[in-house]
Each structure stands twice: as C-alpha cells, then as structure tokens.
Amino acid sequence: MRSSRFMKPVQIALFLVLLVASWAGATTQSPSTIDTRYKDPKQTMNTRIKSLIDQMTLKEKIGQMVQIDKPNITPEILKEYSIGSVISAAGSTPREDHKATPEEWVDMVNEYQKGSLSSRLGIPMLYAIDSVHGHNSLYKATIFPHNVGLGATRDPELVMRIGAATAVETRATGIPYAFSPCIAVCRDPRWGRCYESYSEDHKIVEQMTDIIYGLQGKPPVKGVPYVGGKDKVVACAKHFVGDGGTNNGIDENNTLTDYKGLMSIHMPGYYHSIIKGVSTIMVSYSSWNGVKMHSNRNLVTQFLKTTLKFRGFVISDWQGVDRMTYPWGSNYETSLLTAINAGVDMVMVPPNHTEFLRLMTSHVENKLIPISRIDDAVKRILRVKFSMGLFENPLADYSLVNQIGTQSHRELAREAVRKSLVLLKNEKNLLPLPKKTSKILVAGTHANNLGLQCGGWTVDWQGVDNNTLISGTTILNAISTTVDPSTEIVYSQNPDSKTLSKANEYSYAIVVVGEHTYAEQYGDNLNLTIPEPGLSTMKNVCNKMKCVVVLISGRPLVVEPYLAKIDGLVAAWLPGSQGQGVADVLFGDYGFTGKLPRTWFKSVDQLPMNFGDEHYDPLFPYGFGLTTKPLGGN
C-alpha cells in the first residue's frame, strides 16, 4: 500500500473530532464514566473525597472555594461554575419587606441547590447565614440575648440549648450553615462588636463554646468536624484571631500584643472549639502586630491547621481579601494570592466571582499557587459537606417549619434573659418591686421597642428601630402583664414637666434606656455615654422619684456621674425578643443571679481596663452582681 505524507480530508476531520473529544475528556466525563463512589454513604470519608476530587477540573475545584451573596447568584451560575457556597448576608431575604415565610426560604434555597445539583458532578452548595442570636434574619424567629448577656449567665448548658434551638430554626428554612459562634475576647468596650463577645475573660469564652454542641451536635470523635442530623447546622468559630483586642477598640484594626498574650487570651477559644468539632473557622479582618490575619500563614496554616490539627475549612470574612489593602480591592490580585497561600480555603466574593475565578486560575497556571494548596482547600470543604450528609440530603423540606418560634424556644429565651440580668445597685432593697401598688411610671425609649431591645444583627445588619418585624414581648408589655391588675401604669417615653410635677403620686418609676442599634464599625464609640433622649429621661425621672434604671446596651456605659440618684440599676444587655424575662426578675418571680462578664469602668479615660490589670480601679469589678431571692419560691 502506498503511503502519503498528508492526511486526506476525511482523515483530517476524524482527527479533529478525536482531538476535541480528548480535550473534552480532560474536563468532562459522561455520566456513564463518572466514578460515583463519592455518592455512596457506605464508602469511607477519604474514599469519597478522593473519588470526587480526582474527577474535578481546576475550574470546578476553584468554584468550590467561592462563596457568593444571594443577590449576585443564579441557579445557572451555580451550575456553570460549581460554586461551593451561597450566603444571605444580614437583611438579604427572599422578600424585600423582610416578611418571607419559612416555606419561601426553603423554596429559595432549594431553587439554588437544584442549580448546583445539575452541574456535571452534582456537588451540592452550602447555604450560609448569620444566625448569631437565633435565626435573626427570619421574620418572627426567636431572638435570644446577644453573647455579652449570655456571658453574664455563666451557664454553658443554657448556651448549648440556645445553640440547638438556633440550629433547628435555621435549618427549618433550608439553611445548613450558621456563622456562629463569635468567640472574640473583647478587651475594650469601645469596640462596636463587643456585645458579640461573651466576656473579657477567655475562661468564660472557652466555656461558652459549648454552643457548638447545640449547633452541630456532639462529635463521636473529638476534634472531627461533625454535624449530627437534619436539625443541626455547620457552625463557624470567628474571628481568627485577636479581633477583640484591637487598639482603642477600633473595628478591623491592629491588635498589639506579644505571642504569649495572643495565645493566652485570644487563642484558647479556638482550641476548645476544635476539640468540640467545629466545622469552619472565619478569619478576622484585624491584624496582629501589623500583619493582616488574612495573610498570616504562620497562624492560619502552621498553628491552626498543623499545630491545632483543625480539619474543617477556613473561610474569609465578607470581602476579607479585598480589605487586605487600602483602598479596598486596590491590589486584589496580590491579596488573593497571599490569602490562599496563607491557608484561606473559601473566600466570600459577594460582588465579583468571575474576577476571583480568573485570577485564581492564572495563579495556579503560573505556579504561584500550588495545586496541592487548591486540593487541600477543596478536600476540607468536601469533608464538611460529606460529614453533614449534604450529598444524601441536599434539598430541604417543610418538616421543621413548625419548630420556628415555638413556645419552648420562647421560654428558653425568657430563661436566658432572666439569668443574664446583672443587678448593680439596690438601694434599701428596692428590688424586687411590689406588684401591687397604686401607680407606677414606666419611661424611656427602650421600654416599648423590640428592635432596640434586640440590638444589631436583627432583621437587618444594623438592626431595626420598631416593633413590626419581630415577634416578642416588650419590657412595657411584660410589666403590664406582671403587676397586679389594680396597679395603674403610666407610660411615657420622655415624661414632661407636668408628669414629673406629680412625682409623689407614683410609688416608683422604671426607666428603660440604652444604646441605639448598631453592628461592627458603626458601633465603635469613644465616649460610651447613654444616648439622648435616654440620658435626660433617666436624670429627670430619677431626680424626682424613686427609680429603677434598666440599661439596654451591648456593653458598659458611663453611669458613675448619675449613680447617686439611681435607686436600682440593672444591666439587661441586649435581651432579645422575650422582655418578659426582665419583668420576671424585677418583680421577684425569680431572683437576680447574673454576674458581670466584663469590667464596668468609672470613666472611658480608664480604657482599656480588664480584670488583672495593674491599675484596676473599676466602678463595678468583673464578676460583680448583687443577688435577690425570689418571692414566689421559683
């Protein structure tokens, strides 16, 4: 047969077909050739992970490292890029009016999940939300006290039960991932996130990591990421590490301390969280001695992953990579390279996932990020998804909807409020207050406002200032249902001179005042005074009649100049939706038992000041709290 140096047209066509098929085979496989062992729950975890990752293209691997915000996502994007996670940031709900039903949440999450399941390998995405004191983005959910109040309870078992209630209400809406708990050790109350911290004392924070057991369930083996059932969620310990120690309490700023200080104060909570099986850890915006945490390979990879043997995945904070440079995002390409090589496994990229995917691909192809680093990140993400059974049960149903806002959850929140209240002053044993008397005055901006009572991270990121989107009991309503029916209640936010001129008609006044709602840097505050008109209301009323001040705040505020005129002072923190817990203790159905989780300063000039400091001179020391006995024998 005569050979030819050139292929005939039909041969060329066949060659091109085979070439294209070979290229496609490098990135895709037909369903019949896909190794489906990763879908088999009877296989070992390592077998499932290896089976899946060996079949993934670089594009699919990088897609798993992405978390996108709900407004920027579609089912088609999830399918095309094999996106690993979606987040509903605070206030990002299925409906603009924030009144979405649980069923609407489930339907929305499932719609996105179906997009992920229709991708080549059908890897389910992990939907996340900020359930930081209950499922706080959900209309009419149970809202628990913020962490500073829970720290005052000194009750890890209570916090574990709160974690379980939060998990079931979150999972009931189809969401399996909660960005909780915050285990920051707040060392300066001027920090706008101080209420997210259980205490200035790392020992209290360590104990409160028991909330992880409530959120995830107890792992059968210590230190292994674990989510134990369809009513549990993936938890997230945050923000690694030192976020509560920033200079002057400035959010996202620099924590100045030596290695011993970092390890002895800020790190213990992470060790305890890992032992308890926490599945994810979020990196802090802040720096340690000038080094951004998102770039700190020594702490993220060497210490957290290698020394502490953390086996879950590490996630960035919201645009945490962008914020590594100023102006934000000004050198995103380099920041991304640094963060991934430092050990960040999943990146929140709310506005622009395509830029992330392009840059990541370039970094890998140019061998700036080793493929071993990509594989490590993806294995960690897949381990969490497999451990929670997401491959077996990727779609949610309505079966847990009736667990939202149940009476038992509201009673749990009410119990938490009772135990969180700290009695700071009780002149002549005014408290507990008599239920039966002629006439009482209730005053203050916070007496009849659920939004102010709950604080930030409620309905919306910065909170709300109304009663319309939260289901619960205001402190005024609680007082009304607790006192004897014969007792007359007069309510005025800011009593005028005519009301105050009749002070002798009132047996006593309850003044409920405090901070406005805020979150993160919007709460940074260098003066920590009680905002107006609350301060004037407190001074005017307490100058005229016997008064109990109930302070609603995320931290200690300046009270020393006014203390002499106040007969009773109660730190109620940010109690959440169940104001009845406040009335329970004010009127003696239960006794005061709470202890200060942090030092109460005399003047902001003393700050930062924490227990054990050389020049410790507080108004009320850490651990202080007067007690009363219940009148009803509870």
Residues designated catalytic: 317, 520
First-to-last alpha carbon distance for the chain, in angstroms, is: 104
Q: Say which DSSP state 523 is in.
A: G
The answer to whether the peptide bond before residue 327 is cis (omega within 30 degrees of 0) is: yes
Which residues on neighbouring strands pair with residue 508, listed in sequence order?
Answer: 440
* The pair of three-digit structure tokens given for residue 266, joined into one six-digit string: 């800020």
Find all residues with CB under 8 Å of 525, minimum gap 6, and list them: 190, 192
Three-class secondary structure of residue 510 per DSSP: strand
Beta carbons within 10 angstroms of residue 262's beta carbon: 18
Which residues on neighbouring strands pair with residue 126, listed in sequence order?
Answer: 85
Three-class secondary structure of residue 425 per DSSP: strand
Contact of 444 with 512, CB cutoff 8 Å:
yes
- Alpha-carbon torsion angle 64, 65, 70, 76, nearest 10: -40
> Alpha-carbon distance 157 to 207, whole Å?
9
Beta carbons within 10 angstroms of residue 94's beta carbon: 19
Of the candidates 403, 404, 400, which has an alpha carbon nearest to the alpha carbon of residue 141?
404
* The pair of three-digit structure tokens given for residue 418, joined into one six-digit string: 């009772």
* The pair of three-digit structure tokens given for residue 260, joined into one six-digit string: 């011993």
DSSP alpha helix (H) spans, 289-345: 297, 332-342
CA dist list (Å): 97 to 69, 137, 336, 427, 459: 18, 12, 36, 46, 10
C-alpha R_g of the chain: 27
Contact of 445 with 547, CB cutoff 8 Å:
no
Contact of 500 with 544, CB cutoff 8 Å:
yes
